Amino acid sequence: MKEKSIGVFVGSLRKASYNRAVAKYLETLAPENFKMREIDLSGLTMFNQDFDDEGTTPAAWTKFRSEVKALDGCLFVTPEYNRSFPAVLKNALDIASRPYGQNVWDGKPAGIISVSPGGMGGFGANQQLRQPLSFLNLQLLQQPEVYLGHANAFLDENGQITNDSTKAFLQQYLNAFVDWVTFLSEKH
């Protein structure tokens, strides 16, 4: 089977991010032909259309757009800030959707996982993120939905998942995501 390149977009910039820990764990579950890697969002300056309009597009934007364009799929792993997803993800979505008519997200298979120390597992962020992903024409896996609450209870101090049912659920999700990406790539 052809190798697939999957970009993992972590919505937290925090060093000890629960979301990054979950993303790293998911990378270990991927089949050999699915190359999952985190795409660094920390160096992206805030979107400003003037940069593109004036021909002063930041090099980090150009690199990021090229990286996204080359992907076979996208996995968004997000915390919840004030019932929504973090600005770093919105900024990344905006940068790679512009200039107008050059949306490099278009048509890519995608999935969302939200992780939070709170009991609702980032439900607000997960639901809010669906709207721009849909508008940008990412082909979102609808089921299963993943809201991982009480992250501090299933992650140890080294960022390792210690709960077997969480591990099993993440494997189930990743299997569905792999099937989704494979299905859509065979259609095109």
Query: 91: burial class by Cβ within 10 Å (0-12, 13-18, 19+)?
Result: middle
Q: What is the pLDDT of residues 58-87, one digit of tens each?
A: 999 999 999 999 999 999 999 999 999 999
As a whole number of angstroms, the distance between CA 70 and CA 159 comes to: 29
Question: Are the C-beta atoms of residues 103 and 36 closer than 8 Å to each other?
Answer: no
Please report the pLDDT score of residue 80 as a whole number: 94
Report which DSSP code applies to 105. Answer: T
What is the structure's pLDDT at 188? 67
pLDDT at site 186: 87
**SS3 assignment, position 169:** helix
Query: What confidence tens digit (pLDDT) does each residue in 5-55 have?
Result: 999 999 999 999 999 999 999 999 999 999 999 999 999 999 999 999 999
Shortest CA distance to 92 belongs to which of 67, 72, 117?
67
**Residue 187, pLDDT score:** 79
Q: Which amino acid is at 82?
A: N
**pTM, rounded to two decimals:** 0.96
Mind listing the domains of the chain with CATH numbers? 4-187 (3.40.50.360)
**Across the chain, what does the average pLDDT equal?**
96
Residue 108 reports pLDDT greater than 80: yes
